[in-house]
Amino acid sequence: MSTRAEVASIIDHTLLKPEATGAQVAELIAQGAELGTYSVCVSPNQLPVEAPVGLHVATVCGFPSGAHATAVKVAEAADSVAKGADEVDMVVNLKLVKEHDYAAVEADIRAVKEAVGGKLLKVIIESAVLTDDEIVAVCRAAEAAGADYVKTSTGFHPAGGASVHAVELMRATVGDRLGVKASGGIRTAADALAMIEAGASRLGVSATVAILEGLPA
């Protein structure tokens, strides 16, 4: 997977700045459709949006800290789906991860999965703040809870975003049973290709145009 169209087909074209306007989201959608991205990813307050057939709509939940009560995440996810979201990217409860209470981590994820029903759920683990053992354990909890993807990062944490090592470890943990989304700090074609080579099956990026321009047609 190295051509412009191939890489575009796994990109979540993303705009999650809290100050983003409706006009900017409309521009994002038009751009995503033109570039052939898999989806656009916007904040819940932007929903519902008008997207052309074939362009999926993703949103976030418990973002960016994950430090929300489960009931709040459930309500947010359910509201987003009711407003047309095809996919929900939730942030795990990092307090529980750091306390190694993985049963509680799993319960938090499962509740959101139930709220989204048949829609796709990605679980943001914020890999840059986790040890390797914690990455493995939280990926296992996400799989046990019924998640569809594990995702590296929000892109908002000061510890950093996606790394090749984290993506490789996440892919090794979930095998081909779940998707792996790399997100955070992916700004060039070389970055994107490195993440795909490491095992990413989806990319969350805002620098979509620059990435695709660096790839062969």
Residue partners of 141: CB distance under 8 A and separation at least 6 = 102, 103, 105, 106, 109
Q: How many CB atoms lie within 10 A of CB 49?
A: 18
Could you confirm whether 151 is annotated as catalytic?
yes
Q: How many CB atoms lie within 10 A of CB 114?
A: 14
From the list 73, 113, 122, 151, the catalytic residue is: 151
Could you confirm whether 83 is annotated as catalytic?
no
Q: Are 13 and 25 in contact (CB under 8 A)?
A: no
From the list 89, 108, 148, 191, the catalytic residue is: 89
Task: Tell whether the torsion through CA atoms of 170, 38, 111 and 183 is positive or negative.
Answer: positive
Could you confirm whether 89 is annotated as catalytic?
yes
From the list 122, 148, 181, 191, the catalytic residue is: 181
Residues forming beta bridges with residue 202, ordered by sequence position? 181
Q: Which residues are the active-site residues?
A: 89, 151, 181
